[in-house]
Amino acid sequence: MRIGFFDSGIGGLTVLAEALRRHPDKDFLYMADTLHVPYGTKSKEDVKGYILEAVGTMMNEGIDALVVACNTATSIAITELRERYSLPIVGMEPAVKPAVEMNSATGKRVLVFATPLTLQLPKYYALVSRVDDTGIVDSLPLPELVHYCESLQFDKQIMNEYFRAKLAGYELNDYGIIVLGCTHYPFYKDILRELLPDHIAIVDGNVGTVKRLSALLSRYGIARGGGSGNVQFMCTGNEPGYIDKMQTALAYLREKDNLTETEPF
Ligand code: DGL
């Protein structure tokens, strides 16, 4: 029994780390589409082709369930993947709904960070118009953050400058929650936490995604056992060192006590 995790790069590891915490009795196959990362600045048509090809490779390798651990890929290809394959498939979307619910009592605004492509797609517009009755959601694309993350740029000073410049036009007192709507972004949660005022909560959809995975596995009768927390890594680009990079990044994430600050989802 093996669960596949798919992302354009190392971002999906933030979701895999959560899955390993909750399902240490499963094995995992992690696929990064390193030939085409980043997705968030490319065309929808191109990215769809990349996703279908990489996921096809994962299917050939043998998986029993799939987590599309990428908000951008989910927006573009989740429907088609579900049409093509009959195994359980879990996708991701920015945690806008719970953020709006959490904020309704405070009257503060919600700021969603995601890739340009996620924020441009109809799925995101549909989500926001469905849940944001009072118009409190703002969206900020952070395309550079995926580049920083892929090059393991975690220098506090450099990243603080980047975030300060991006947030310069926002009155942070008006905001109660920042949603990390790209799976690469939780790598910067600690840096953001130090930078942002205390009243701003930082949320992502990782815990919610793994809970949906658990529910789906139960429904398909594959809830327990079948593995031992083994992770096999693959990437489309075959760059020397990328597998090591993924292993290092996952070890870093697993060392952290608590990747997700709030767990309402
Ligand atoms: N990690 C991905 C996401 O959640 C996409 C990053 C990218 O390739 O631009 O949206």
Task: Write out the chain's pLDDT in tens, 265 residues.
Answer: 899 999 999 999 999 999 999 999 999 999 999 999 999 999 999 999 999 999 999 999 999 999 999 999 999 999 999 999 999 999 999 999 999 999 888 889 999 999 999 999 999 999 999 999 999 999 999 999 999 999 999 999 999 999 999 999 999 999 999 999 999 999 999 999 999 999 999 999 999 999 999 999 999 887 666 788 899 999 999 788 999 999 999 999 988 754 444 443 3
Say yes or no: 103 and 186 in one domain: yes
Query: Helix, strand, coil proportions of the chain in percent (round to 5)?
Result: 50, 15, 35
CA–centroid distance, 182 to ligand 1, in Å, is: 5
Say yes or no: 100 and 196 in one domain: yes
Domain of 151: which CATH number? 3.40.50.1860
Extract the tokens encoding 117. Answer: 């492509």
The atom number, within ligand 1, closest to the CA of 184 reads: 1
Residue 228, pLDDT score: 86
How far apart are alpha carbons 83 and 120 in whole angstroms? 23
pTM, to two decimals:
0.94
DSSP state of 9: S
Contacts of 196 (CB under 8 A, 6+ apart): 172, 178, 202
CB 33 within 8 A of CB 242: no
Catalytic sites, residue numbers: 70, 182
How many distinct structural domains can be found in the chain?
2
Among the three residues 181, 203, 225, which one is the final residue of a domain in this structure?
A: 203
Say yes or no: 100 and 199 in one domain: yes
Does 148 map to a domain?
yes
Which of 72, 74, 148, 253 most suits a substitution to test ligand 1, by most atoms within 8 Å of the C-beta?
A: 72
CA–centroid distance, 84 to ligand 1, in Å, is: 22
The CA dihedral of 258, 261, 263, 265, to the nearest 10 degrees, is -120
The atom number, within ligand 1, closest to the CA of 69 reads: 4
Contacts of 136 (CB under 8 A, 6+ apart): 100, 103, 108, 109, 110
Does 18 map to a domain?
yes
Does 248 map to a domain?
yes
CB 63 within 8 A of CB 2: yes
CA–centroid distance, 116 to ligand 1, in Å, is: 10
Residue 50, pLDDT score: 98
Does 261 map to a domain?
no
Range of the domain at 23: 2-92+206-256
Residues with CB under 6 A from ligand 1: 7-9, 11, 37-40, 70-72, 115, 118, 146, 182-184
Residue 240, pLDDT score: 83
Say yes or no: 236 and 192 in one domain: no
Does 262 map to a domain?
no
